[in-house]
Amino acid sequence: AIARNGAAHLTLIDPAKQSPKISAEIASGAAAAGSDGIMVGGSTRAGGKLLDDTVLWIKKAVDLPVILFPANEAGISRHADAIFFMSMLNSCESYFITGAQRRGAPLVKRFGLETLPMAYLLVAPGGEAGRVGKADLIPRAKPELAVAYALAAQYLGMRFVYLEAGSGAAIPVPTNMVRAVRKATQVTLIVGGGVRTQKVAKERARAGAEIIV
C-alpha cells in the first residue's frame, strides 16, 4: 500500500472496549473505507482469551493483516499475523523500554509471530499511553529531540518509528516534526494520535509519514 499510494492506513482496535463481534464489525467498516491493516491492542486490559477471540473474529471478517500492538506482555496472541515488537524509548520506566519485551519475547518465539521492531515515541500531549507508560513526553516545539530518538532507534536496528500524540489527542503530531524525522532517518515512519480527518492524515503523509493510524 505504501508503494502504491505513498502511505498506508492502519486501524487500531482495542479489544477491551467492545466485544470480539463488535471489533470484527469495526474492522469490516475500516476495510470497506480503505484501511490497509488492523492493529489490535493498545490497552493493558487487552489480553488473554478476549485478545485471542478478538483476533480470530477480525480475521474471519476481513482479509487484511492483523498486527498486535501490545501494551504489555499479555497483549500477545498466537493467532495474529505479526507483532509490533516495540520499545517506548522515552519512558522513564525500564519496564516499558526492555522489561515487557524480555517477558514477552519467549512467547513471540513460541508462537512464531513475525516481528516488526519499532520505537514508540510519545509526543505531547501523550494521552493515556503517555501517562501509563510514564513517558518523558517529546515537546511539540522540539522536533530535534524526536529526530535524536528516531536516529537512536535506527542505529539500534529498529525498522519502524511511531510518533504518537496519544489516542484521542486533541492535536496531532506537528507536521514539522514528521518532516524532520523523515529527512534524518531511513526508518518506516508511523504517525498517530489526533488524526481525525482526511486533511490531517494527508498533511502528515505529505510531510513523510508512511503509515497513518
- CATH number of the domain residue 136 falls in: 3.20.20.390
74 assigned to some structural domain: no
* Sign, Cα dihedral of 63, 75, 151, 177: positive
121, β-bridge pairs: 163
Does the residue 95 lie in any domain? Answer: no
Confidence label for 3 from pLDDT (cuts 50, 70 and 90): low
Domain that holds residue 130: 118-213
Is the residue at 65 inside a domain? no
- CA angle at 77 for the pair 72 and 79, rounded to the nearest 5°: 160
Q: Full-prediction pTM beyond 0.75?
A: yes
pLDDT, one tens digit per residue, over 161-193 is 999 999 889 999 999 999 999 999 999 999 999
From residue 212, alpha-carbon distances to 44, 163, 164, 169, 197 in Å are 22, 10, 10, 14, 11
Whether residue 188 lies inside any domain: the answer is yes
Whole-angstrom distance, CA of residue 206 vs CA of residue 14: 28
Residue 198: inside a domain: yes
> Number of folded domains in the chain?
1
82, part of any domain: no
Report if residue 45 sits inside a domain. no
Residue 107 inside a domain? The answer is no
Instruction: For residue 61, give every residue at least 6 positions away whose Cβ sits within 8 Å of its Cβ, in sequence order, or none.
Output: 24, 25, 27, 28, 31
Residues 39-62 have pLDDT tens digits of 999 877 888 999 999 999 999 999
What percent of the chain clears pLDDT 90, i.e. is strictly above it? 93
